[in-house]
Chain A
C-alpha cells in the first residue's frame, strides 16, 4: 500500500511537467492543426537557458522560468511569422516535415555549441526531501509541480480573460469570421506558436531540475505530449492538465509493475486503446 501511494505521488509529480509540455503542444495543434515536432527541441532549449543562467549567474531555475518563457516566446513568434506561416494551410504532411527539419536544425546547433556531454543543474535544495505519511517527496519536484499548476492557471486566465486570448479562440473556431471581426490571423498564429514555444521553454526549465541535459533530451517528450493530448482531448487547458497527470501516473505504475524497459510501451498501448475507443480523449467533446 505504501508503494502504491509512493507511485501515485511520483506519477503526479512527473505529470505536472508533462502537463506544461503538452499544454503548448496542444495549443499549437488545436488552433493551427500543426503537429509541432520541434516542441521537444523547444523544451531542450528551455532547459539549456536555465543551465546557462544557472552556471553563469547562479540564477535559481525557478527565477529562470519567466526569462525562458519570454525568450522562447520571441523565438517561436519569429519562427511562425517568418517560416511556418508560409505553408500553414498546406496539407498536414508539409508542416509535419517542416517542424521535423527545424527540430534537427535546433538540436544540432545546440550540439555544436554545447557538445554532446551530459549536463545537470544542482541547486542547494536538489537532494532535500520531506515526508508525507508513508510517502517521500523531493522538494524540487514538489515545487516543480506547484510551478506547473501555476503556469496552467495563468494560461487558462490568459485564454479566457484577455482580448488576445479571445482572438486566439475565435481564430480556432472560424478563421474567416475572425478575420472579418478584425483579427490579424498571421499575427495571432505567430502568438499561438510563440506561446507554445514559451510554454515548452518554461517546461524545459522545470525538466532541467529533474532530468540530465543533452541536446537530444527533448525527443521523448514529443510522443509523451502526443499521448497527453489524446488522453486529455485536444485544445483545452484543463484537458492538458488532466491528461498530463493521468499519463504521469500511468507511466509511474507501468514502470513499477511491468518494468522500466516497457514503460513507454505501456503508455503507447494505452494511447492506441484510447484512440480507438474514445478518439476525442477523456475530456474531449463529442464533436470536433
Chain B
C-alpha cells in the first residue's frame, strides 16, 4: 500500500505540475495558433476544412477540459451545448434571416450559459458516474426533443444560407478556439482555476477552505458549455445544414474527450495537442483504410488508454526512460 501511495503521489506531481501545465507546451500552442491563421491563404478547400475541424474539436475539447479536466466532473454529454449552438445559428437564419457570425456566437453562448445554469444546479449535486450519466441523459433527451419540435425543423432539419466569403467561417472558428485557449490559460492562473482544481482533488476539503462548490461547479459548467456552443454556432454556418443527428453527433461528444486524454487532461495545451494528433491519425486511417477506419480508430483509443492514460505531454516530463514508462503502466493494475 505504501509503495502504491508513493507512486501515486509521484504521478500526480509529474502529471499536474502546477495547474497551468507545461510552459513550453503553452508557447508552442500559441505559435501553432498563429501559424494556423495562415491556412486560408493557401486557397485549398480540403486543408481549410480539415483545420477548421481541428480548431472545432480543439474548442470542444478545451470546453470539456474545464468541467471534466480541471473540475473533475466527467461530463459525457457536452455535445448538448454544441448542438444548442448549432441550432442558435440555424434559428437566427431561419426565423430572422440573420447571418452575422459574431451575433450567432454571442447568442449561442448566452443560450448555453442559461441552459447550464438552469440544469447545472440540480445535476451538479451528483458525482462520478451518476453525473456522467445525467449529462449523457440530458444530451440524448435534448436531441430527441428537438428532433420532435416542428418549429425547430423537426426531423427534416434546417438549411442555413452561407455567407459569400466562406473563409470567414475558418477565421471565426480560429477566433473561438484561440479565445477558449486563452480563457483556459487565464482561468488556470487565477483563483477560479485553483477553486476548480480544489473541487476536483477533494470537494469536502475545498468547502471547508471556503470554496462554495455549487457556485464554482456551475460556473465551470457554464464556461465549458459556452465554449462548445460558440464552436457549434460557427460549425452550423460552415456546414450549411443542421438536423438533430448532425447537431448532437456522437463523434462530437466522444472525440473531444479522447483528445483531452490524448493530450493531457487538466492542462491548457493538452486539448489542442490532442485535437491535432487525433485528427492526423483519423485522417490517415480514413485515407488509407476507408472501409475499416472506425475499427482502427477503436484500436487507437484502446492503445492510447492502455499506454498513454496521462497524455502525450506527460511523456516529456517522464523520468527514467523506458523503465520509468513501463513502471508507470503498472500503477493502475490490480
A-side interface residues toward B, CB under 8 Å?
A: 29, 33, 35, 83, 85-90, 92-94, 96-98, 100-109, 111-112, 176, 185-186, 189, 223, 226-227, 230, 259, 261-262, 264-265, 268-269, 271-272, 275-276, 279
CB contacts (< 8 Å) of B334 on chain A: these are 85, 88-89, 185-186, 189
Contact across chains for B141 and A87 when beta carbons are under 8 A apart = no
Closest to B143 in A: A265
A268-B265 CB under 8 A given contacts A85-B333, A185-B334, A223-B136: no
CB distance from A221 to the nearest CB of B (A): 13
A265-B302 CB under 8 A given contacts A100-B254, A105-B295, A271-B133: no
Which of B76, B125, B136, B305 contacts A94 (CB under 8 A)?
Answer: B305
A108-B141 CB under 8 A given contacts A230-B133, A272-B134: no
CB distance from A179 to the nearest CB of B (A): 10
CB distance from A139 to the nearest CB of B (A): 32
CB contacts (< 8 Å) of A223 on chain B: these are 136-137, 140
Task: Tell yes or no: B19 within 8 A of A by CB.
Answer: no
Task: Tell yes or no: B213 within 8 A of A by CB.
Answer: no
Closest to B1 in A: A176
List 7 A-B pairs, minimum CB-CB distance, nearest first: A104-B298, A101-B301, A108-B295, A105-B298, A90-B332, A268-B141, A101-B302
Closest to A90 in B: B332
Task: Tell yes or no: B309 within 8 A of A by CB.
Answer: yes
Task: Tell yes or no: B190 within 8 A of A by CB.
Answer: no
**How long is the Cα–Cα vector from A108 to B330 in the complex, in angstroms?**
29
Q: A86-B329, A93-B74 are in contact. List 7 more A-B contacts (CB 8 A).
A: A92-B128, A96-B76, A96-B132, A98-B306, A259-B148, A262-B144, A271-B133
Task: Kindly count the residue-residue contacts between A and B in the assembled complex, taking CB atoms under 8 Å apart.
Answer: 140
Contact across chains for B257 and A86 when beta carbons are under 8 A apart = no
Which of B123, B134, B257 contacts A93 (CB under 8 A)?
Answer: B257
Which of A89, A90, A230 contacts B130 (CB under 8 A)?
Answer: A230
Which of B122, B294, B333 contacts A89 (CB under 8 A)?
Answer: B333
Closest to A234 in B: B129
Interface residues of chain A: helix, strand, loop or mixed (majority):
helix
Contact across chains for A226 and B136 when beta carbons are under 8 A apart = yes
Contact across chains for B123 and A276 when beta carbons are under 8 A apart = yes
**How long is the Cα–Cα vector from A268 to B331 in the complex, in angstroms?**
37
A275-B294 CB under 8 A given contacts A94-B309, A262-B145, A264-B144: no
Q: List 30 A-B contacts (CB under 8 A).
A: A35-B132, A35-B133, A83-B302, A85-B334, A87-B305, A87-B306, A89-B332, A90-B332, A92-B74, A94-B305, A97-B257, A97-B301, A98-B301, A98-B305, A100-B254, A101-B298, A101-B302, A104-B294, A105-B298, A108-B292, A176-B1, A223-B140, A261-B147, A262-B148, A264-B141, A265-B145, A268-B138, A271-B133, A276-B122, A276-B126
Task: Tell yes or no: B258 within 8 A of A by CB.
Answer: yes
Number of interface residues of B (CB under 8 A): 48
Which of A93, A98, A189, A226 contacts B302 (CB under 8 A)?
Answer: A98
Closest to A98 in B: B305
CB distance from B135 to the nearest CB of A (A): 10
Contact across chains for A265 and B141 when beta carbons are under 8 A apart = yes
CB contacts (< 8 Å) of A108 on chain B: these are 292, 294-295, 298
**How long is the Cα–Cα vector from A29 to B144 in the complex, in angstroms?**
27
CB contacts (< 8 Å) of A112 on chain B: these are 291-292, 295
Contact across chains for A86 and B137 when beta carbons are under 8 A apart = no
CB distance from B252 to the nearest CB of A (A): 14
Contact across chains for A88 and B140 when beta carbons are under 8 A apart = no
CB contacts (< 8 Å) of A87 on chain B: these are 305-306, 309, 332-333
Question: Could you mark each residue 250-283 of chain B with 1 if its beta carbon is under 8 Å from any beta carbon of chain A, else 0?
Answer: 0000100110010001000000000000000000
**How long is the Cα–Cα vector from A48 to B295 in the complex, in angstroms?**
18
Closest to B141 in A: A268
Contact across chains for A275 and B333 when beta carbons are under 8 A apart = no
Question: Could you mark each residue 297-334 of chain B with 1 if its beta carbon is under 8 Å from any beta carbon of chain A, else 0?
Answer: 11111101110010000000000000000000111111
CB distance from A91 to the nearest CB of B (A): 8
**How long is the Cα–Cα vector from A272 to B294 in the complex, in angstroms?**
32
CB distance from A106 to the nearest CB of B (A): 8
Closest to A80 in B: B334
**How long is the Cα–Cα vector from A100 to B299 in the complex, in angstroms?**
10
CB contacts (< 8 Å) of B123 on chain A: these are 272, 276
**How long is the Cα–Cα vector from A156 to B298 in the complex, in angstroms?**
34
Contact across chains for B298 and A86 when beta carbons are under 8 A apart = no
CB contacts (< 8 Å) of A265 on chain B: these are 140-141, 144-145, 148
Closest to B145 in A: A265
Which of B126, B140, B299 contacts A275 (CB under 8 A)?
Answer: B126
**How long is the Cα–Cα vector from A97 to B310 in the complex, in angstroms?**
13
